[in-house]
């Protein structure tokens, strides 16, 4: 049975950066409208089933009414999504139930937790978050069409997808967490409101991508060494050091409407499998823009770069392929 999964994060695009920067607010009504377009696109491809993560806002309700009787719609059997781990659990359940592709609505953070559970199933990420390096501003109708094309086998993963990179964080020899775009080492000692917006608190950064047209912490790296999703390396940057060290100053958009001058003391390529120790303690590690890991004394912590991140459908490439079939 050809199946497309849907994971929409009702909390995406609503964090503290609406107060400290000028991040847009993506309302639940707009997310519901996007999903209506996604469902229409999926139905047009003859896909058998849509598998949905339940959420407390009922984002898919209108979309389900629109296509009632035209496609089977099932919900993942799980508690209603109200925390990060729910998206991971939903992705795992969708893989177990035979999802061929998963459409996500959210930002870098949403896709980071979905990627923990999606395995080899490709994603179609639609940008509705704050930091949106990983997801694209894809029209929902097209996202639904390419997801349906993948599910029905008209296009294949190998020809229509690109594999993302990933930064893995190890604590005392065990993999603790990961990031899809950036892992930032912060001098702030507590997770707090999670989001990072003050570059003066940054000690170092690890990047999988550094694209000049992006907004967020990864844009800092793009000012010194642009890196794309296809480059087989990442970037390591050190921003905090001893007084008197020579620094290179760059100006970058680190959040919507927030452009900062950042002093960089050292940078170099970050190669797959390379281990770089994180020696700042105490502190925190922000993964894709949100502080998640606390650095405690006596811990041995390091980061590595993996080339085995999630598969992502290249929507323009997929549409070109579908147009010829």
Q: What is the pTM of this model?
A: 0.91
Question: Ramachandran region of residue 155, left (φ > 0), alpha (ψ -120 to 50) or beta?
Answer: beta
Whether residue 183 sits in one domain with residue 123: no
User: Number of folded domains in the chain?
Assistant: 2
What's the CATH code of the domain at 227? 2.60.200
pLDDT along the chain (325 residues), means of 10: 93 56 74 97 98 90 95 89 79 97 93 96 89 87 98 97 97 96 88 67 95 91 95 95 78 88 95 95 90 90 97 98 95
pLDDT of the residue at 28: 87
| pLDDT given for residue 13 in this prediction | 55
Segments in 72-229 forming alpha helices (H): 84-96, 108-118, 140-151, 157-160, 218-222
Q: Where are the beta strands (DSSP E) in 244-310?
A: 248-255, 258-264, 266-270, 275-277, 283-287, 290-295, 301-306
Answer yes or no: do 43 and 126 share one domain.
yes
Please check whether residues 180 and 293 belong to one and the same domain: yes
Among residues 171, 178, 187, 194, the alpha carbon closest in space to that of 280 is found at 187
Which pLDDT score is estimated for 1?
94
User: Same domain, yes or no, for 27 and 159?
Assistant: yes
* Per-residue pLDDT, 14: 52
Give yes or no: residues 85 and 223 share one domain.
no
**Domain range for residue 211?**
166-306
Residues 222 and 103 in one domain: no
Residues 242 and 139 placed together within one structural domain of the fold: no
120/7 same-domain check: yes
Q: What is the pLDDT of residue 30?
A: 92
Residues 79 and 96 in one domain: yes
- Do residue 116 and residue 170 come from a single domain? no
Domain shared by 144 and 177, yes or no: no
Residue 31 belongs to domain with CATH number? 3.40.50
171, 200, 292, 293, 313 from 192: Cα distances, Å:
21, 17, 9, 11, 34
Considering only CA atoms, which of 108, 142, 143, 114 is closest in space to residue 128? 108
């Amino acid at each position: 049975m050809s199946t497309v999964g849907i994971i929409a994060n009702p909390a995406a695009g609503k964090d503290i950066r609406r107060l400290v920067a000028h991040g847009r607010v993506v309302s639940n009504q707009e997310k519901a409208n996007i999903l209506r377009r996604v469902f229409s696109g999926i139905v047009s491809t003859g896909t058998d089933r849509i598998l949905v993560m339940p959420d407390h806002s009922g984002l898919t309700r209108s979309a389900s009414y629109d296509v009632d009787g035209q496609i089977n719609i099932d919900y993942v059997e799980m508690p209603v999504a109200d925390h990060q781990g729910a998206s991971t659990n939903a992705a795992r359940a969708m893989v177990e139930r035979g999802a061929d592709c998963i459409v996500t609505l959210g930002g870098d953070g949403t896709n980071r937790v979905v990627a923990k559970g999606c395995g080899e199933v490709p994603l179609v990420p639609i940008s509705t978050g704050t930091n949106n390096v990983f997801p694209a501003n894809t029209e929902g109708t097209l996202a639904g069409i390419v997801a349906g094309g993948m599910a029905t086998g008209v296009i294949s993963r190998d020809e229509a997808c690109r594999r993302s990179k990933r930064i893995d964080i190890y604590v005392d020899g065990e993999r603790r967490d990961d990031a899809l775009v950036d892992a930032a080492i912060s001098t702030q000692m507590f997770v707090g409101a999670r989001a990072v917006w003050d570059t003066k608190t940054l000690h170092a950064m690890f990047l999988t991508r550094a694209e000049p047209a992006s907004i967020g912490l990864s844009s800092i790296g793009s000012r010194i060494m642009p890196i794309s999703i296809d480059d087989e390396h990442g970037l390591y940057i050190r921003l905090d050091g001893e007084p008197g060290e020579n620094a290179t100053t760059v100006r970058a958009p680190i959040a919507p409407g927030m452009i900062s001058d950042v002093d960089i003391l050292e940078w170099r390529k970050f190669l797959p499998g390379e281990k770089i120790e994180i020696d700042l303690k105490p502190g925190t590690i922000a993964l894709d823009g949100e502080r998640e890991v606390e650095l405690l004394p006596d811990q041995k912590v390091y980061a590595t770069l993996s080339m085995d991140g999630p598969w992502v459908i290249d929507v323009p490439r997929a549409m070109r392929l579908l147009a010829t079939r």
